Amino acid sequence: MRLVKLFGGAVLAVILTSAIVFAHGGATGIVKKRMDAMEAIGGNMKLAGQMLRGQKPYDAAALRQAAETIAENAGEKLTRLFPEGSLMPPTEARPEIWQDWDKFAGFSNDMKAAASELAIKAGEGAEKGAVAAAFSKLAQTCKACHEAFRIEK
């Protein structure tokens, strides 16, 4: 009995793990492309945040690089990954994107501008407070767009 229980638990763990992998791994085509772009943006934001919080050594060149990568993935490059009506599962995109396209595109441009600003601040060796302020401004653009256009999980 006990063995069966143990075995059952292990199987359940495997099923749960693969369900989590599937949630993102199941994405294909354009949805996968934009999830990958967002993951890259998210990874670079995480790195920048860790440096500013002292969880990683502060490295102005690396922070500038992270911000530049975000800027490169933003603006029109990001909005092109949202062709009209592309709501295939497991997307978290909201249909409102295409009802209010200008607002959506505006957020993507705001992200690009804020990321470029952060790259400049870090690159010119600005003091940490100024770099942190530029980082917060960038984080605000993520939040604004997610609140309006991404389904909360």
Name the site residues for ligand HEC (rule: CB under 6 A): 24, 31, 34-35, 38-39, 41-42, 45, 70, 91-93, 104, 107-108, 111, 138, 141-142, 145-146, 149-150
From residue 78, alpha-carbon distances to 12, 18, 83 in Å are 37, 28, 10
> In angstroms, what is the minimal distance from the CB of 128 to ligand HEC?
19
Measured from the CB atom, is 6 or 80 closer to ligand HEC?
A: 80
DSSP three-state, residue 131: helix
Residue 83: asked if its preceding bond is cis (omega within 30°), the reply is no
> In angstroms, what is the minimal distance from the CB of 18 to ligand HEC?
17
Measured from the CB atom, is 39 or 124 closer to ligand HEC?
A: 39
Give CA–CA dist 117/144, Å, rounded: 18
Give CA–CA dist 22/92, Å, rounded: 14
Measured from the CB atom, is 12 or 136 closer to ligand HEC?
A: 136
DSSP three-state, residue 95: coil
Measured from the CB atom, is 13 or 23 closer to ligand HEC?
A: 23
